[in-house]
Amino acid sequence: NAGVTQTPKFRVLKTGQSMTLLCAQDMNHEYMYWYRQDPGMGLRLIHYSVGEGTTAKGEVPDGYNVSRLKKQNFLLGLESAAPSQTSVYFCASSLRVSGIYGYTFGSGTRLTVV
């Protein structure tokens, strides 16, 4: 049981380039999330999804897009990367939102935009 898998683990982009981060979960969770974490800070929610085919904005959505075409996958896209998007990106999933269900996180993607 792999849990939540993120690819790639590391990436360096030039300003203006685009890329897609992939998150895959094998726990049949309904809810999926993308967070970013800057040095010394807590996690901030970028976008989330409450089910296949649905997405919504979180706290810091600007500059990112997401898609949830399949229940097990949640993609995060950067259309035109900026240095301010240098961060560690974490994907998470949960069986249900809030209540008694915990969140499972991936190991992170370390992105540097130069």
Partner 1 sequence: DAKTTQPPSMDCAEGRAANLPCNHSTISGNEYVYWYRQIHSQGPQYIIHGLKNNETNEMASLIITEDRKSSTLILPHATLRDTAVYYCIVDMDSNYQLIWGAGTKLIIKP
Q: How far is the CB of 103 from partner 1 (least distance, A)?
A: 6
Stretch that binds partner 1, among 8-16, 17-25, 65-73, 106-114 (CB under 8 A): 106-114
What is the full DSSP assignment across 52-87?
Answer: TTEEEE-SS-TT-EEE-SSTTEEEEEESS--GGG-E
- Tell me whether residue 4 or residue 78 sits nearer to partner 1 (CB atom): 4
Out of 12, 97, 112, 114, point to the residue binding partner 1 (CB under 8 A): 97
| 40 lines the binding site for partner 1 (CB under 8 A) | yes
In sequence order, the 6+-apart residues with CB closer than 8 A to the CB of 90 are: 6, 34, 35, 36, 37, 43, 105, 106, 108, 109
| 45 lines the binding site for partner 1 (CB under 8 A) | yes
By CB under 8 A, name the binding residues for partner 1. 4, 31, 33, 35, 40-45, 48, 50, 56, 58-59, 88, 90, 92, 97-100, 102-108
